[in-house]
Amino acid sequence: MTGRRSGVRVAGALALAAVAVASCGRSVEGTPVAEGAYAGNPEQFTDLLQECNAVAEDQIAETVGADAIERGFLGAICRWDAIGVNGTVKVTFHWFETGTLDTERETAEQLGYEVENATVQGRRAVLLRPPADPGSCGIALGSPSVGVVGWWVQYGGGAADPCAAAMKLADLTVDLSS
């Protein structure tokens, strides 16, 4: 009896392993690059890990009408939670050094967002609105140095214009006079 149980267990384990291996495979398009073999300009990332400081937190809070703001995450995407007269506000900033405005536009269109051409200090930009969330708006534009930057503002109560706030944050980001 013990031999049969053991055989059933082994067969069951082999079947699970086969399913796991079969379900993990997928193809990824592109050209593989060895870790650490970046072929671009190493001077390109002049402010690496400083992106979240592109606009001071007090300026972010003032722009979205918040009395209090707390940074929740920083990296390639930076997030803040704010609260004030407009209720809870979620603010997100991104800076993709190798990104493009065309990619931002295409991605938003694929997601079904309303996309509108805009300019910020003479730079080409796009406003992005998810149709099912009128309290949210994003903007993407060329960064002050290289790549693309973007802001998303999401008002929980929908009391204020998220696009106006996103535009103001973008303006503060590329304000080269300061």
Burial category of 123 from C-beta neighbours within 10 Å (exposed 0-12, middle 13-18, buried 19 and up):
middle
> Domain range holding 57?
45-174
| Residue 58 maps to a domain | yes
Locate 50 and state its tokens. 């400083």
| Residue 81 maps to a domain | yes
Local mean pLDDT, 10-residue blocks, the chain (178 residues): 52 49 57 53 52 89 94 84 91 91 95 96 94 94 86 87 96 76
Task: Please report where in the chains the tokens 């970046």 appear, as a residue.
Answer: 38
| Residue 19 maps to a domain | no
Locate 162 and state its tokens. 């998220």
Number of domains in the chain: 1
| Residue 7 maps to a domain | no
Contacts of 65 (CB under 8 A, 6+ apart): 84, 85, 86, 89, 160, 165
Contact 57, 172 (CB under 8 A): no
| pLDDT value of position 36 | 46
Contact 125, 170 (CB under 8 A): yes
Q: Which residues pair with 119 in a beta bridge?
A: 124
